[in-house]
Chain A
Amino acid sequence: MAGWTNRGKYNTLARYFRAVAFPANFYIILFTSASAPDADTNLVSDLTEITAGNGYATGGISLTRNAADFDVLTEDDGNDRALIQIKDIVWTAAGGNIPSAGGGARYAGLTDDDGVIANREVEEYFDLVSDRTISDTQTLTLQNMEIRINES
């Protein structure tokens, strides 16, 4: 499953309608299955990030707020919604597996860019369906992660 966290919904409204400052960047972080994200997830500290090393850096991969990183934007009158896709996110394992220890990556989360990684807010989450371990020299690519706004 994929979905907005309520914190992500709130942040989106606050930033747009109250001119609350946008983060300069977002991040895609990988989490283990130790804690499942849901609509009530707030912070990275609510979840368990995979162990860093071998090509995975703590805090994940940075995204810039621009068309290059959020590369497909759709207004859908057919289903009363709007959608945006994130560019392909790639991790390559080098020198050993990703994660270097502990559980595999079960979830990906889109977060803001707070300087303290544990305090970053989780805006959106994606279920990778099963625990993912990237073998040395292999890659994991998350393609076309899509964020949707529906009125239902």
Chain B
Amino acid sequence: MLDVFRLVKKERRLDRPSDTEDWFIITPSKVWPAAIKHIKKVLKSGTFPSGALLSYYTQARELDQSAWKHALQAPDVCPVELRDQRAMALEFARLIFTEMLHNAVGEPIRIYIRRDSKYRLYTEAKVIKEKDRTLLKWLGFSIVKE
């Protein structure tokens, strides 16, 4: 089981001096490799947790396996044809880690993700736009029908 509290810091932000509440601080080079390692392990086991995580894992297993490797490399290293897959892998890492952290805390949370160009979704200012979501158009929420 991934120890989410070991990976994040909970603290005030010096760049928000009037803010009196803590944030969960994510340092990409520390959190995303650990999260991706955990995700790959869960995907390999074939046994997925329940709730939103079940939906995320069910969708994440559809990704090209190389996406997880490329997610740990800078975006310009990734072959052009796999850049959307790499971005999706990083988004799943964020969504799954966020859900695990939220579940562990058990109350509303605020997260701050530090800048790290290596883990940027795309090289330039490009973001996942609607046209890019056609590949996996569910990204952004999950549905559970019981």
A 109-152 contacts with B by CB, 8 A: 126-129, 132, 134, 138-146, 148, 150-152
Q: Which of these, B95, B115, B126, contacts A152 with CB under 8 Å?
A: B126
Task: In the complex, identify which listed stretch (B4-12, B40-48, B63-71, B137-145) lies at the interface while the others stay far away.
Answer: B137-145
| A101 on interface, CB distance cutoff 8 Å | no
- Cα distance A12–B113 in the bound complex, in angstroms: 23
- Cα distance A145–B55 in the bound complex, in angstroms: 13
Q: Is the CB of A126 within 8 A of B102?
A: no
Nearest CB in chain A to that of B115: its residue: A77
Q: Is the CB of B116 within 8 A of A1?
A: no
Q: Is the CB of A148 within 8 A of B111?
A: no
- Cα distance A80–B143 in the bound complex, in angstroms: 27
Q: Is the CB of A74 within 8 A of B119?
A: no
- The count of residues in chain A whose C-beta lies closer than 8 Å to any C-beta of chain B is 38
Within the complex, the shortest CB–CB distance from A114 to chain B, in Å, comes to 24
Residues in B whose Cβ lies below 8 Å from that of A150: 127
Residues in A whose Cβ lies below 8 Å from that of B107: 71
Instruction: Encode B52-92 as 1/0 by CB contact (under 8 A) with A.
Output: 10010000000000000000000000000000000000000
Q: Is the CB of B108 within 8 A of A79?
A: no
- Cα distance A145–B130 in the bound complex, in angstroms: 16
- Cα distance A71–B107 in the bound complex, in angstroms: 7
Q: Which positions in A face B, CB cutoff 8 Å?
A: 1-3, 67-68, 70-81, 85, 88, 126-129, 132, 134, 138-146, 148, 150-152
Closest 4 CB pairs of A and B: A67-B108, A143-B52, A77-B115, A145-B141
Please name 16 further chain A to chain B contacts, defined as beta carbons within 8 Å, in addition to the given A128-B143, A145-B141, sorted by A numbering: A1-B130, A1-B134, A1-B137, A68-B108, A71-B102, A71-B108, A72-B111, A78-B28, A78-B115, A78-B119, A140-B143, A140-B144, A144-B142, A148-B140, A152-B125, A152-B127
